[in-house]
C-alpha cells in the first residue's frame, strides 16, 4: 500500500511538472505583454511630467513678465494706466495658460494613442503559441 501511495505521489509530481512545462510559453507571453503595458504607462507618465514641468516654467516666466509690466506701470505717474497694464497682463496670462493647457492635452492624447498603437502592434496573439 505504501508503494502504491509513493507511485501515485510520483505520478502526481510528474503531472504537475508536465502542466507547468505546457503553460511556460503562455506565462512568458503574459510577462512580455505586462512589461510592454508597463513601459507604455511609464512613457505616458513621463510625458505628462515633462508637460507639467514645461507648464510650470512657462507660468513662472509669465508671472515674471507680468510683475515687470506691473512694476513699470506702477512707476508711471498715472495710476489708471497702471491698472490697465495690469489687466492686460492678466488677460494675456489667461490666454497663454489656456493655450498651454490645450497643447498639453493634445500632447498627452497623442502619447496615449501612440502607446496604445505600439502595444497593439507588438502584442503577440495567443494563436502563435506552440503546444507540445
Q: What is the pLDDT along the chain (132 residues), one digit of tens a residue?
A: 999 999 999 999 999 999 999 999 999 999 999 999 999 999 999 999 998 898 888 888 888 888 777 776 666 655 555 555 555 556 777 777 778 777 777 877 777 777 777 655 555 555 454 554
Angle, CA 60 vertex, CA 100 and CA 76 arms, to 5°:
110
For residue 67, what is its C-alpha cell? 510683475
For residue 109, what is its C-alpha cell? 492624447
SS3 124: coil
Are 64 and 52 in contact, with CB atoms under 8 Å apart? Answer: no
- The residue length of the chain stands at 132
The torsion defined by the Cα of 97, 98, 100 and 101, in degrees rounded to 10, comes to 110
Q: pTM (2 decimals)? A: 0.45
Number of Cβ atoms within 10 Å of the Cβ of 120:
9
- Sort 91 into a burial class: Cβ within 10 Å, 0-12 / 13-18 / 19+: exposed
Residue 14, CA distances (Å) to 25, 39, 47 in order: 19, 37, 49
Amino acid at each position: 500500500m505504501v508503494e502504491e501511495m509513493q507511485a501515485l505521489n510520483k505520478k502526481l509530481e510528474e503531472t504537475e511538472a508536465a502542466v507547468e512545462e505546457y503553460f511556460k510559453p503562455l506565462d512568458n507571453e503574459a510577462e512580455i505583454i505586462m512589461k510592454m503595458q508597463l513601459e507604455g504607462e511609464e512613457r505616458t507618465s513621463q510625458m505628462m511630467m515633462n508637460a507639467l514641468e514645461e507648464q510650470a516654467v512657462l507660468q513662472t516666466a509669465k508671472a515674471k513678465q507680468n510683475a515687470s509690466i506691473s512694476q513699470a506701470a506702477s512707476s508711471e505717474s498715472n495710476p489708471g494706466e497702471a491698472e490697465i497694464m495690469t489687466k492686460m497682463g492678466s488677460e494675456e496670462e489667461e490666454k497663454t495658460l489656456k493655450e498651454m493647457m490645450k497643447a498639453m492635452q493634445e500632447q498627452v492624447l497623442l502619447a496615449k494613442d501612440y502607446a496604445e498603437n505600439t502595444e497593439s502592434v507588438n502584442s503577440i496573439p495567443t494563436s502563435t503559441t506552440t503546444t507540445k
